[in-house]
Structure 1
Amino acid sequence: MSLPNAPQSVVGADGLPLFGRYAGQAERFDWPALAKPYARNRLWRRLHHKKWHYVSLVTEQLMCAVAIVDVGWTTTCFAYAFDRNDGDIMANYSQDGLPGRFSAGVADSVGGDSWFRTRDTRIAIEHAPGGCYRLELRCPHMEIDAEFGPAAAPLLLATGPVKGGAVHATQKSSGLPLTGEVRTWRDEYRLDGGVASFDYSNGLLARETAWRWASGHNLELGFNLQAGYFGACENALWLDGQIVPLGPAHFIYDQHDPLARWHIFTEDDQLDLVFTPEGARRQDRNLLVAASRYVQPVGTFNGWVRAAPDAPQRIVSQLAGVTEDHFSRW
């Protein structure tokens, strides 16, 4: 099944969102142009508009993730580096933007640049020539200089309705060739030969939002799965340079022990994987106006995928990636 090409805007000329899954890059996420029943006033949009830009970097030794998150009334960031050889998180950094003490912005589309800057932190996710991307990070205990791309497979664009919110859209990449370096208090780590991927999301979400997520990529195949506020809208498999839409995903795991094995499968019988965690980043926060509960295990996937229910199974062996259990009141 071939996906249609991505529209330039995720909102049509009639003001209605263009729900569906597409191959390619959208240029505009123009929520103010929405018509009824999806239109909302400016104050509501300001409080419910959420955007984030997330980048994953994976090598045989290292797994890193960096994210900038705009929740509407403030912007936050996090970054971590995990040593796969000994299960040690060598750096685990997060920062909330404090009024008057930071400069931050998440791009209005995946084609733009995102940044976060304070006195001791600098993060930039930028486009580079030739269809590539750059990530630069300077924060306490860690530095990253990475370049990734170009992509051998198209981006996924997924748009859909959100219960309690209005609409949401996301762009996910396949696995991207990676070069660069990560520097921590322990050592310097080359990224050359590794794999990057990214998640750009932009939508009008509910006050309380929860999801389970799984993502794993190499340069030959990869997948993105979500169960929660966005249903099956963004579930997809990258295989042989093509995007294959997947059905609803099920996550079977122990919420009290997220480092135990996870069983993840889709209802269309096109993916069945066991995830074995090697470690995890956790963060629970309870602020006056917001709260979150977050755990992101890192590890490997084993099992099989296929391009159609009647297609041969393709074995997945020791594919590095992450799962996530996340709740936010924002």
Structure 2
Amino acid sequence: MSTPERLIEDGLRRWGRLPDRPAVVDPLEVYGGLARRLKRMRLKEWVGFTLSHPDWYASLIIQDAHYLAGAEIYAYDRAVRVLHQHAAHAAGGSPVLPAELLESACRFERVGYRVVYSFSRASARHRIEIDIAATAKAPAIRGESELDAVESTAPLSVSSRLPGGSIYTHKAAFPAAGVLRVGDAEVVFEPDRDLAVLDEHRSLLPYRTNWVWGTFATPTDAGPVVGANFAARPELAGEPEESCLWTPGRCEPLGDITFEPAAADPSAAWHIASRDGRLDVVFEPEGRKQVRHNLGLFAVDYFQLFGRCRGVLRGAGGDFEIGDVPGVCESMKARL
């Protein structure tokens, strides 16, 4: 299958697993008039990164629900077990999240809070810029990173129907070089060791929505990046999931993912596996980021765990042992 120029062409949407991200991804193009305006309020868009480093866990996101928008970042210092967090909010529609992602820039800019992702498919180099001022609760977080798209994983690009909605997601893991400064601490990212995992969504989610999701990636001794993206949510029979194995040069489809915490304790390990056994890992949490809001019609009960993964990936070209690899798992239950 060739990659379409647009997700929506001649009024029809492409469904399934795509070889790469279309140049233009706008799920609203299939609608017109009043339907388009109403669907815009159901559209949930975000672009974020999980950063992989041996001494720090970090993640950042720009998101737009079209009635409210925001940006968040956290950085966790493993040595002293301290979590630093910043968040900012804005009117829906105010972040710049262009449909032509890979030849554009995403921006969230307010006084004291600036995050920019610059993407260039032509140069195969992407950039993350962060400039967030200190607050009474957290130190300043500033930095720049360059991401190498030549040495990245094969892309995960999925367009899928959901009960009461649809998703489009694009994901990949990139070697990352640069510096992140968290207060007085300097975190140096080395491209032969450290990664940034991209997570883009352009999804028309049902009002009541829930999912469990996780990801990790790591360079191998031979150089290529391997890893996995895995999710469980209400699905329609026959529709592709957004789960995959990243093996050298390949994005291999996965399905039927189970997440099994060993106990109710938030610090308990999770066993994460696909039914066919090609993904079989244990995730050991080290920390937790949580968001809870209840605004009547709208509510969010969300947490993301960051920690380490160990186990095995069984790809088409062979097995890959995973040991002490940074990763994340999250749970979302919401009325959106």
**1:28 paired to 2:24:** yes
C-alpha distance in 1 between matches for 2:247 and 2:305: 24
C-alpha distance in 2 between matches for 1:200 and 1:87: 29
Shift of 1:35: 6.9
Q: Write the mapping of 1:147-296 to structure 2, written as runs, cut at 5 A.
A: 147-152=146-151, 153-165=153-165, 167-173=166-172, 175-193=173-191, 194-219=194-219, 220-229=225-234, 233-253=241-261, 256-296=264-304
**Secondary structure, counterpart of 1:54 in structure 2:** strand
Task: Name segments (4+ residues, structure 1) moved above 6 Å.
Answer: none
C-alpha distance in 2 between matches for 1:172 and 1:7: 17
Counterpart residue type for residue 147 of structure 2: F
Q: Write the mapping of 1:70-85 to structure 2, written as runs, cut at 5 A.
A: 70-85=64-79
C-alpha distance in 2 between matches for 1:40 and 1:24: 31
Counterpart residue type for residue 282 of structure 1: Q
Measured against aligned partners, the alpha-carbon deviations of 1:137-196 in whole angstroms (never above 9, x if no partner) come to 12232112111112433211101002122x2210000x3111111112241211224111
**Secondary structure, counterpart of 1:201 in structure 2:** strand
**1:45 paired to 2:39:** yes
Instruction: Name the CA shift for 1:32/1:214 in 2 (closer, same or farther; >3 Å).
Output: closer
Counterpart residue type for residue 179 of structure 2: E
How many residues align? The count is 317
Measured against aligned partners, the alpha-carbon deviations of 1:51-91 in whole angstroms (never above 9, x if no partner) come to 100112111111211100110112111000011233321x2
**1:127 paired to 2:119:** yes
C-alpha distance in 2 between matches for 1:93 and 1:303: 33
57-66 or 39-48, which deviates more? 39-48
User: Conserved in 1, the CA contact under 8 Å of 2:64 and 2:70?
Assistant: yes
C-alpha distance in 2 between matches for 1:97 and 1:227: 30
Shift of 1:98: 4.8
User: Conserved in 1, the CA contact under 8 Å of 2:62 and 2:72?
Assistant: yes
**Secondary structure, counterpart of 1:115 in structure 2:** strand
Measured against aligned partners, the alpha-carbon deviations of 1:21-62 in whole angstroms (never above 9, x if no partner) come to 1222211223334279xx980232121011100112111111
**Secondary structure, counterpart of 2:210 in structure 1:** strand
Measured against aligned partners, the alpha-carbon deviations of 1:188-213 in whole angstroms (never above 9, x if no partner) come to 21122411110111021111211100
**1:7 paired to 2:4:** yes
User: Conserved in 1, the CA contact under 8 Å of 2:67 and 2:91?
Assistant: no
Instruction: Name the CA shift for 1:262/1:5 in 2 (closer, same or farther; >3 Å).
Output: farther
Counterpart residue type for residue 228 of structure 1: R
**Secondary structure, counterpart of 1:178 in structure 2:** strand
Counterpart residue type for residue 319 of structure 1: V
Fraction of identical pairs, as percent:
24
C-alpha distance in 1 between matches for 2:262 and 2:187: 33
**Secondary structure, counterpart of 2:76 in structure 1:** strand
Calculate the TM-score normalised by the size of structure 1. Answer: 0.88
Shift of 1:107: 2.3
Give RMSD over aligned pairs. 2.3
Alignment match of 1:55 (pick from 38, 45, 49): 49
Calculate the TM-score normalised by the size of structure 2. Answer: 0.87
Q: Which runs of 5+ in 1 are unaligned?
A: none
Instruction: Name the CA shift for 1:285/1:255 in 2 (closer, same or farther; >3 Å).
Output: farther
Instruction: Name the CA shift for 1:292/1:156 in 2 (closer, same or farther; >3 Å).
Output: same
C-alpha distance in 1 between matches for 2:100 and 2:108: 16
**Secondary structure, counterpart of 1:23 in structure 2:** coil
User: Conserved in 1, the CA contact under 8 Å of 2:57 and 2:76?
Assistant: yes
**Secondary structure, counterpart of 1:104 in structure 2:** coil
**Secondary structure, counterpart of 1:306 in structure 2:** strand
Alignment match of 2:86 (pick from 89, 93, 104): 93
Aligned position for 1:327: 333
106-115 or 153-162, which deviates more? 106-115
**Secondary structure, counterpart of 2:258 in structure 1:** strand
Instruction: Name the CA shift for 1:33/1:250 in 2 (closer, same or farther; >3 Å).
Output: same
Q: Which runs of 5+ in 2 are unaligned?
A: 220-224
User: Conserved in 1, the CA contact under 8 Å of 2:157 and 2:168?
Assistant: yes
Alignment match of 1:313 (pick from 319, 327, 332): 319
Alignment match of 1:107 (pick from 98, 102, 123): 98
C-alpha distance in 2 between matches for 1:133 and 1:314: 28
